[in-house]
Structure 1
Amino acid sequence: MKTEGTVALADKIALVAGATRGASRAIAVALGQAGATVYVTGRTSRQAGGPDGTGILVSEVGRASETIEETAELVTAAGGTGIPVRTDHLEPEQVRALAERIDGEQGRLDILVNGVWGGDRLIEFDTKAWDVDLDKGLRMLRLGIDTHLITNHYVLPLVIRRAGGLVVEVTDGTAESNKTYRSNLFFDIAKNVPIRAAFGISEEVKEYGGTAVSMSPGFLRSEEMLDHFGVTEDNWRDATAQEPHFAIAESPAFIGKAVVALAADEGKARWNGASLSSGELAKVYGFRDTDGSQPDCDGYFRDIVYGGKDGTAADYR
């Protein structure tokens, strides 16, 4: 496996779909740090004509502070080449145009990170299926499932152009951890489908020398989550007063390092079809989070939260 900074992925072309914030933005930046050319897509853009009059075109998530252009700039500043392409991944023609652009400019795609989401605001946890807002539930499925399937349909032909292509379906939870019900039927379905999709894609790309996996962060310190708790990355531990389990939280950079380690591994085909987590891959590849720790969120919840064992989050960092 190559690990020499910008050498690791210097000749690779990547697409990170849904890269305006959170895990997908961090993955894009990490790929840039490893030297890759990274196309970053999403709906929130600085393109002129934004409905709020600022020139920023805002998605339904409503977080105009993060745009695909900003992500692309971060990718370039990290050492790669960031290319923003405003794309609504629910619109097949926009995704087709994206694939055609990448094909015309690069002739192939080495890494596809399918991280489109945006449904957190729609979740009604601990609400029965018959009591949830049906429109919200169906929209969640559109955002978490349709976007991924549409993207795969148009982009996978580029990934199989040459052997060694990698597909990463980003989701929330692994096949093992998601055996525990996610407290909302629509959310549970939306976050389990990418796991099965990665397995199916793995069967279809292996004859071309490709690898497909699903990957989940642990308890993510995303921009949105930090805002929710009223903290920043510098004082994130203060949020444990509101949510004690946040003590196991990991920075978005952690899953970014996981994707880079996997992409740079010449033997990555051994993972084909697997459901992976950032914490699991950290143990294999040896990378650490920004604070020097290796948070094992799955282990913490399995043993302490659900298993009733004695211990603290510090034992799993």
Structure 2
Amino acid sequence: MAESSKKPLAGKIALVAGATRGAGRGIAVELGAAGATVYVTGRSTRTRRSEYNRPETIEDTADLVTEAGGHGIAVPTDHLEPAQVAVLVDRIAREQARLDVLVNDIWGGENLFEWDRPVWEHDLAGGLRLLRLAVETHAVTSHHALPLLLRGSGGLVVEVTDGTDDYNREHYRNSFFYDLAKTSVLRMAFALGHELGPRGATAVALTPGWMRSEIMLDQFGVREDNWRDALDRVPHFAISESPRYVGRAVAALAADPGVARFNGRSLSGGGLAREYGFTDLDGSRPDAWRYLVEVQDAGRPADVTGYR
């Protein structure tokens, strides 16, 4: 088998902004498994934690990228600070002279939104900071990184969000601030599609399904190796997926010479699994957003038959 077929992203340069944990880490690792050099950024390092005060670090993510077969490079970056993002992009330009894939996965809002609390009762400072972390960071990063991405042809931008355009248009997403943040990222991909498409690049919005992030597993008191133990309490968790699943979706998009057909569109990991034929780590193919509409939101008993 030719090396290019084993490592379809060999020689490609990616930036995963917000790669400390969760989807960002899963995406970075799968890009590495496909052979890419991956710059991973975030605020949690081995010497300093963010306000999350969690153990995951960008150095750990970079090591996982390298172990998977790529080259991981950790660069501590606060994406709310334009000067830091400019330094990051200048470093990539100096070291690589190109950028092929930009993944905007910066989030940081788990502790800032209040479930089902109306805007007039929601903590205002927390809500506004959520919007800065979830929306402003993406705009800052795109502003600085896209000129480098556009030096070449066929570049890809992935805006990671929660929910498809169809689903979020019809459903209230937990709180005013959370809803606004996740819907804004969908619109960012649409707008970037209009700006990048004529210049030879592609932008998409991508949502994972019910993802077994480190934070989610901790919340349910389980690990990745025994996550099914949570099903007695949360039966619909049966549709959940590992962070590597959405990572495989990004790697498939980045390796697709015809990816421009998706420009400006809202995509899901489950939908792309059908398109490209990849599976999650356990060999299953969960389709969480179809399940959510047809089973969970419809009030039906948890049953993933036909959905994974």
- TM range, smaller chain: over 0.9
Question: Quick one: which amino acid aligns to residue 75 of structure 2?
Answer: V
1:143 aligned residue: 133
Cα deviation, 1:187-213, whole Å, max 9, x if unaligned, reads 000111111001101111112210000
Aligned: 1:250 with 2:241: yes
1:50 aligned residue: none
**Aligned-partner Cα distance in 2 for 1:4–1:308:** 47
- Coordinate RMSD, CA, aligned: 1.5
Question: Quick one: which amino acid aligns to residue 265 of structure 2?
Answer: A
**Matched residue of 2:305: which SS?**
helix
**Residues 202 and 273, structure 1, Cα contact 8 Å, conserved in 2:** yes
1:267-286 equivalence runs, <5 A: 267-286=258-277
Q: Displaced runs of 4+ in structure 1, greater than 4 A?
A: 2-6, 308-311
**Aligned-partner Cα distance in 2 for 1:134–1:241:** 36
**Residues 7 and 33, structure 2, Cα contact 8 Å, conserved in 1:** no
* Structure 1 residue ranges without an equivalent (≥5): 47-55
**Matched residue of 1:163: which SS?**
coil
**Residues 5 and 35, structure 1, Cα contact 8 Å, conserved in 2:** no
**Aligned-partner Cα distance in 2 for 1:269–1:253:** 23
Cα deviation, 1:245-283, whole Å, max 9, x if unaligned, reads 111100101000000011100000000001000000000
2:217 aligned residue: 226
**Aligned-partner Cα distance in 2 for 1:311–1:99:** 45
**Residues 169 and 213, structure 1, Cα contact 8 Å, conserved in 2:** yes
Name which of 79, 88, 104 aligns with 2:78.
88
**Matched residue of 1:192: which SS?**
helix
Name which of 147, 150, 157 aligns with 1:160.
150
**Matched residue of 2:111: which SS?**
helix
**Aligned-partner Cα distance in 2 for 1:256–1:177:** 21
2:196 aligned residue: 205
**Matched residue of 2:306: which SS?**
helix
Q: Structure 1 pair 145/314, CA: closer, same or farther in 2 (3 Å)? A: same
2:306 aligned residue: 315
How many residue pairs match? The answer is 306
1:35 aligned residue: 35
* Structure 2 residue ranges without an equivalent (≥5): none
1:21 aligned residue: 21
Name which of 233, 251, 260 aligns with 2:251.
260
Q: CA deviation at 1:308?
A: 4.8
Question: Quick one: which amino acid aligns to residue 166 of structure 1?
Answer: L
